[in-house]
Amino acid sequence: MRTTRGFVDIELVTGQEVALTEELANHLTRVLRLRSGDSVQLFNGNGREYRSTLTSLERKRTLARIEGEVSPLSESPLRLTLAQGLCRGEKMDLVLQKATELGVHAIQPLATERTEVRLDAEREARRVAHWRQVIASACEQSGRAILSTLAAPLSLPNWLVQLGAAAPAVNPQSMRLMLDPEGDASLRDLPAACEAILAVGPEGGFSDNEATLLQRMGFVRLRLGPRVLRTETAGLAAIAALQSHWGDL
C-alpha cells in the first residue's frame, strides 16, 4: 500500500498537533479523500519523517497529530549537484521535478550567454518560490525526506568564481562534468566517484567561451551518445546514468 506523504515547513515534534497548509490539506482531503483518523507521514526537509494522524478536518483548519519518528532510507550515496542552464517555463519545472525524484542533492540554475529566459529581481523571487514548491512536491511523491537544495540563479562566470572559492583540496572521489555532444569522455571512461557536479547548458548549449571557462575549472566534457538531446532531456538522462553508475539505481 502506498504511503501518503506531505511536506510542512515547520519543526515537527512527537506528540504535537500541527496545522497543515491549505494546499496540502486540499490535496489530502479533496484529492486523496482522507478522513479524520487516517494516517499520513509528514516531513520538513531535514531528513526525518513522522507518522501522523489527521485529527481535525474543519473547513479552514486541518490538523494532524505527530505520532512518532521514522527513518527514511531514500537518499543516494552519490552527492550530485545539477547546474542547469535556465530554460523556458514548463521545461525548467520538469527538470527540477525529475532531478529531485532521481536523487539530486543540489540544484544551481545558471544564466548563460544563450539563455532565453531573463529574470528581473521580482520575477526571479516568484520563480524561485515556485521552483521550491516543485521540489517539495517531487519529494512528497518520490519518498525523499531531504529537499534538494535550490540556489538562486547565477550567471555562469559568477558561479564558477563562487565554485572556485569554495572548492576544497582536490578530491579523487569528486568529479566535475559538463555535457557536450562532442565530448571526449563517456561514462565508462570515468573513475568511480561519490560526489559530482553536472553542468548542463540551456536550449542552445554552452557557448565556446563558456565551455572553455568550464574546462579551465576542471570540468570534463561528457558525451552521452551519438544523439543530440534537448536540455530538458540531457540532464535527466545523465543523472539517471550517473545514479546507475555510481549511485543507487
198-218 pLDDT, tens digit per residue, is 999 998 899 999 999 999 999
pLDDT over 90 at 95, yes or no: yes
pLDDT average, residue stretch 125-141: 92
Q: What is the pLDDT of residue 170?
A: 52
pLDDT over 90 at 60, yes or no: no
Number of domains observed in the structure of the chain = 2
pLDDT over 90 at 109, yes or no: yes
Residue 53 is part of which domain span?
5-70
DSSP state of 185: B
Look up residue 45 and give its three cell numbers: 526537509
Instruction: Please identify, among 70, 92, 114, the residue that sits at the C-terminal boundary of a domain.
Output: 70
Q: Give the best-scoring range by mean pLDDT among 77-81, 169-173, 183-187.
A: 77-81
Q: Are 88 and 59 within one domain?
A: no
Q: Are 21 and 102 within one domain?
A: no
Nearest-Å Rg of the Cα atoms of the chain is: 20
pLDDT average, residue stretch 98-122: 91
Task: Show the CA angle centred on residue 88, arms to residues 214 and 154, nearest 5°.
Answer: 40
Predicted TM-score (pTM) of the model is: 0.85
